[in-house]
C-alpha cells in the first residue's frame, strides 16, 4: 500500500481530546514516517454550552458535529473521538474506520475525603455528567444528592477541589490518559456501575468514499476492541439509545466468545432492566440485538417510553 503523504486530524480542543489526537498522530507517524500528520483543533457546541446537561441540549452528537463538518468540507481527513461520544447512527457518507485498543472502560470514584461510595454520608453531594451513572448511583445509594457536573476533566476536578462536591464519578480512561490516575480513590466494578457504550475506546471517523485512507487506518484497528464496541453500539442502536437515556452496555471477549451485559434505567434508579448474553465474536451486532431483546423482556420499553 502506498504511504499517505498528508493526514489532518480534526479534534476537540480539550486537553484530553488533544491527548487522544496526538496519540493517533504518533501512531500514524510511526506507521508512515514520510507522512505529514497535523492536528486541527476545533471547539464544539458540547464544549461551549456548560450550564445545562447534555440530555437537555441535544446529546453527545454536540461533541462530534463540528468535526464532521471539517471532514465534509475537506479541512480534515480524519476525526478522533472518544467512542462513547459518537452517536449510534452516523450521517450518510461517514464511517468509523478504526477503534484503537481500549483503555480501562470502568468508572472511577474521585474524592478528597472518601475511599468508597459506601463511605459517603447521607445527602453528600456527588457530581456526574451522565444519566447512566446517576441512575445507577441513585439505585444503590438513594440517600446521596446527585448533582450535574459539566466541563472538561480539569474543570470537573477543580470543582471537586473547591469543595462543591464530596465526590465525583469520572471515566478511568480519561484520568489515566492525562496522568491523573493518582486521583482515583476507587475503581467501580461493572456490577457497581456498568460502563457507557464505547467507554475507554478511541474511534477514528472519516468519509467512506476514501478507500485508500480507510486502508491506511486499518493497522490502527484493534480487533477485540472493535468487536466489543460494535456489540455495545448495536444494543444502544436497537433500543434507540442516546445520552438522554440512562443506558449502559459492556462487552468482553471471554474464552473466544462475546460476553455482553447491559441495562436501561429510569433516572431515579427505581426501575432497572438488566440483561446478559453470550454471543459469537464474529457477529457482534447480532449479540447486541439479542441483548436489546432480552432487555425488552425485562421491561426496557416501559422505561424508555418516558424519553420519547
Q: Which residue has the cell 485512507?
A: 213
**Average pLDDT estimate for 185-212:** 97
- Specify whether the CB–CB gap between 291 and 275 falls below 8 A: yes
The answer, yes or no, to whether residue 9 has pLDDT greater than 50, is yes
The answer, yes or no, to whether residue 11 has pLDDT greater than 90, is yes
Q: What is the CATH number of domain 6-102+201-221?
A: 3.40.190.10
**% of the chain surpassing 70 pLDDT:** 93
Domain boundaries, the chain: 6-102+201-221, 107-188, 234-307
**Average pLDDT estimate for 89-115:** 97
SS3 content of the chain, % helix, strand, coil (to 5): 40, 25, 35
The answer, yes or no, to whether residue 186 has pLDDT greater than 90, is yes
Pairing verdict, β 6-12 and 36-42: parallel
Q: What is the pLDDT of residue 248?
A: 97
**Average pLDDT estimate for 123-148:** 96
Q: Which residue has the cell 450518510?
A: 92
Which of 85, 89, 119, 280 is the catalytic position? 85
**Average pLDDT estimate for 130-155:** 95
| Fold equal for 6-102+201-221 and 107-188 | yes
DSSP-assigned states of every residue in 242-301: -TTS-EEEEEEEETTEEEEEEEEE-TTSS-EEEEEEEEETT-HHHHHHHHHHHHHHTTHH
- How do residues 217-255 score in pLDDT, each as one tens digit? 999 999 999 999 999 999 999 998 766 789 999 999 999
CA distance 123 to 117: 12
- How do residues 252-277 score in pLDDT, each as one tens digit? 999 999 999 999 999 999 999 999 99
**Average pLDDT estimate for 165-189:** 98
Fold observed for domain 107-188: D-Maltodextrin-Binding Protein; domain 2 (3.40.190)
- Specify whether the CB–CB gap between 251 and 258 falls below 8 A: yes
CA distance 275 to 101: 26
Q: What is the pLDDT of residue 61?
A: 56
Q: Which residue has the cell 460476553?
A: 259
**Average pLDDT estimate for 124-144:** 96
Per the CATH hierarchy, to which homologous superfamily does domain 234-307 belong? Porphobilinogen deaminase, C-terminal domain (3.30.160.40)
- Specify whether the CB–CB gap between 26 and 39 falls below 8 A: no
Identify the three-state secondary structure at position 209: coil
Q: What is the pLDDT of residue 107?
A: 98
Secondary structure E strands in the chain: 6-12, 36-42, 78-82, 94-99, 107-110, 125-128, 145-148, 167-171, 184-188, 202-207, 247-254, 257-265, 272-280
Q: What is the pLDDT of residue 56?
A: 47
CA distance 109 to 167: 7
The answer, yes or no, to whether residue 77 has pLDDT greater than 90, is yes
Of 245 and 133, the one with more pLDDT: 133
Q: What is the pLDDT of residue 3?
A: 86
Q: What is the pLDDT of residue 129?
A: 85
**% of the chain surpassing 90 pLDDT:** 86
Q: What is the pLDDT of residue 113?
A: 97
Active-site residue, 161 included:
no
pLDDT-based confidence at residue 46 (cuts at 50, 70, 90): low
Angle subtended at Cα 205 by Cα 201 and Cα 69, rounded to the nearest 5 degrees: 130
Q: Strands of 36-42's sheet, edge to edge? A: 36-42, 6-12, 78-82, 202-207, 94-99
Mean pLDDT of the chain: 92
DSSP state of 119: G
**Average pLDDT estimate for 126-151:** 95
DSSP state of 117: G
Q: Strands of 125-128's sheet, edge to edge? A: 145-148, 125-128, 167-171, 107-110, 184-188
Q: What is the pLDDT of residue 106?
A: 98
Q: What is the pLDDT of residue 44?
A: 72
Q: What is the pLDDT of residue 54?
A: 47
User: How far apart, in Å, do the first and last CA atoms of the chain sit?
Assistant: 47
CA distance 185 to 167: 10
- Specify whether the CB–CB gap between 287 and 279 falls below 8 A: yes
DSSP state of 91: P
- Specify whether the CB–CB gap between 11 and 18 falls below 8 A: yes
Amino acid at each position: 500500500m502506498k504511504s499517505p503523504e498528508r493526514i489532518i486530524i480534526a479534534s476537540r480542543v480539550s486537553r484530553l481530546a488533544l491527548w487522544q489526537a496526538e496519540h493517533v498522530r504518533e501512531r500514524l507517524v510511526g506507521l508512515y514516517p514520510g507522512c505529514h500528520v497535523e492536528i486541527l483543533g476545533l471547539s464544539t457546541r458540547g464544549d461551549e454550552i456548560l450550564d445545562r446537561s447534555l440530555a437537555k441540549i441535544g446529546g453527545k452528537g454536540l461533541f462530534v458535529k463540528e468535526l464532521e463538518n471539517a471532514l465534509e468540507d475537506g479541512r480534515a481527513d480524519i476525526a478522533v473521538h472518544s467512542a462513547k461520544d459518537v452517536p449510534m447512527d452516523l450521517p450518510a457518507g461517514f464511517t468509523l474506520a478504526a477503534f484503537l485498543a481500549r483503555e480501562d472502560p470502568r468508572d472511577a470514584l474521585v474524592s478528597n475525603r472518601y475511599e468508597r461510595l459506601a463511605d459517603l454520608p447521607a445527602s453528600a453531594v456527588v457530581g456526574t455528567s451522565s444519566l447512566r451513572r446517576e441512575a445507577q448511583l441513585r439505585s444503590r445509594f438513594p440517600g446521596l444528592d446527585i448533582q450535574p457536573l459539566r466541563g472538561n476533566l480539569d474543570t470537573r476536578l477543580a470543582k471537586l477541589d473547591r469543595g462543591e462536591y464530596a465526590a465525583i464519578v469520572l471515566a478511568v480512561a480519561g484520568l489515566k490518559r492525562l496522568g491523573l490516575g493518582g486521583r482515583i480513590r476507587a475503581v467501580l466494578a461493572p456490577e457497581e456501575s456498568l460502563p457507557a457504550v464505547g467507554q475507554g475506546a478511541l474511534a477514528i471517523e472519516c468519509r467512506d468514499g476514501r478507500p485508500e485512507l480507510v486502508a491506511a487506518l486499518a493497522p490502527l484497528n484493534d480487533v477485540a476492541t472493535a468487536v466489543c464496541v460494535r456489540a455495545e453500539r448495536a444494543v444502544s442502536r436497537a433500543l434507540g439509545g442516546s445520552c438522554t437515556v440512562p443506558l449502559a452496555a459492556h462487552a468482553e471477549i471471554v474464552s473466544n466468545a462475546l460476553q455482553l451485559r447491559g441495562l436501561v434505567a429510569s433516572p431515579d434508579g427505581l426501575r432497572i432492566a438488566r440483561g446478559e448474553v453470550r454471543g459469537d465474536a464474529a457477529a457482534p451486532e447480532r449479540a447486541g440485538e439479542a441483548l436489546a431483546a432480552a432487555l425488552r423482556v425485562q421491561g426496557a420499553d416501559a422505561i424508555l417510553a418516558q424519553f420519547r
